[in-house]
Every structure is written in C-alpha cells, then in structure tokens.
C-alpha cells in the first residue's frame, strides 16, 4: 500500500519523526487546526469522530498552522496542552507546519495540489490506499452528514 503521502516526513507534536505511512491501511481525516479561531470548537467534533470510528479504522490527524491571522501562535507544547485540557483531544497531533504560501509543507502540497488552503479546519479524507477521496471546507462541521457518510463509505471498503 504505497502512496506518495505516506513518504512525506512530518514531526509529531512531541518532536519525534513520523509520516502518514505510520497509518497505512487506515482511513485518515487530515485537518489543519488552530487554537484561537472561531472554528476551534470543531476539536470537539473531531475528537467525537475519532472516538466513534477509531476501532473501525479511522484516524483523525491534526496539523496546527499559524497561516491565518496568527490564530495558532503557541509552541507545540502549548498547543498540545490546550488541545488536551480544553477539548480532551486524544487523536494524533503533529508539529506546527505551514499550510499556505512559499513555505507550505510538502504534505499540503500533496494534499491540495495547486489549490490553496482557504482557512483553518479544512479537512482532507484519505482512503486506506493513501489517496485523497474528499475535501471539506473549513466551516463544514465534523459531524456534517456529508463528512460522516464519506468516512463510513471509506471504512466499509475494509
């Protein structure tokens, strides 16, 4: 199950090296997150999705980014504490990256291609084969029926 997305190096929020290849064979919901955004309460919905579907093969992965109006100013440690203490986040969080501009991380080059990331909490659903199967706008809530249906469809592919 080789996918170019799986080969891109990323760092976990604790600084350890990783890649999405660590989750090969799982369905992934990749989200660029921010702690000081009007959409930050989506952490609750993302964690609920993770808890509901993780045993069936879904992993939600959060990538903090400070690209939009400085809404993720903290350090990785501060972000991790905020997410755990405020929203009980247990899904994997990664080190802060850039999702837009000249310094956009290669992961987001691969996810979005030539398109820009429009805001915090844009969501990419990646199938078990490592390919992007859906993209959801920032204001689309994690429990939106379109998101849930897409996740369930991918999980059913086993």
Q: Which residues are catalytic?
A: 37
Whole-angstrom distance, CA of residue 95 vs CA of residue 14: 7
In three state form, how does the secondary structure of 32-89 look? EECCCCCCCCHHHHHHHHHHHHHHHCEEEEEEECCCCCCCCCCCHHHHHHHHHHHHCC
Backbone torsions φ then ψ of 27, nearest 5 degrees: -85, 135
What are 15's two structure tokens? Answer: 């600084």
């Amino acid at each position: 199950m080789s996918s170019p997305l799986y080969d891109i190096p990323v760092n976990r929020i604790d600084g350890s090296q990783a890649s999405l290849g660590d989750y090969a064979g799982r369905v992934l919901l990749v989200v660029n997150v921010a702690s000081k955004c009007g959409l930050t309460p989506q952490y609750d919905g993302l964690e609920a999705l993770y808890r509901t579907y993780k045993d069936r093969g879904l992993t939600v992965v959060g990538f903090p980014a400070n690209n939009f109006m400085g809404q993720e100013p903290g350090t990785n440690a501060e972000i991790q504490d905020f997410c755990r203490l405020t929203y009980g986040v247990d899904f994997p969080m990664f080190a802060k990256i850039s999702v837009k501009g000249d310094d956009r991380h290669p992961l987001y080059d691969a996810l979005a291609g030539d398109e820009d990331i429009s805001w915090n909490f844009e969501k990419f659903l990646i199938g078990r084969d490592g390919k992007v199967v859906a993209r959801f706008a920032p204001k689309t809530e994690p429990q939106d029926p379109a998101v849930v249906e897409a996740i369930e469809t991918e999980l059913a592919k086993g």
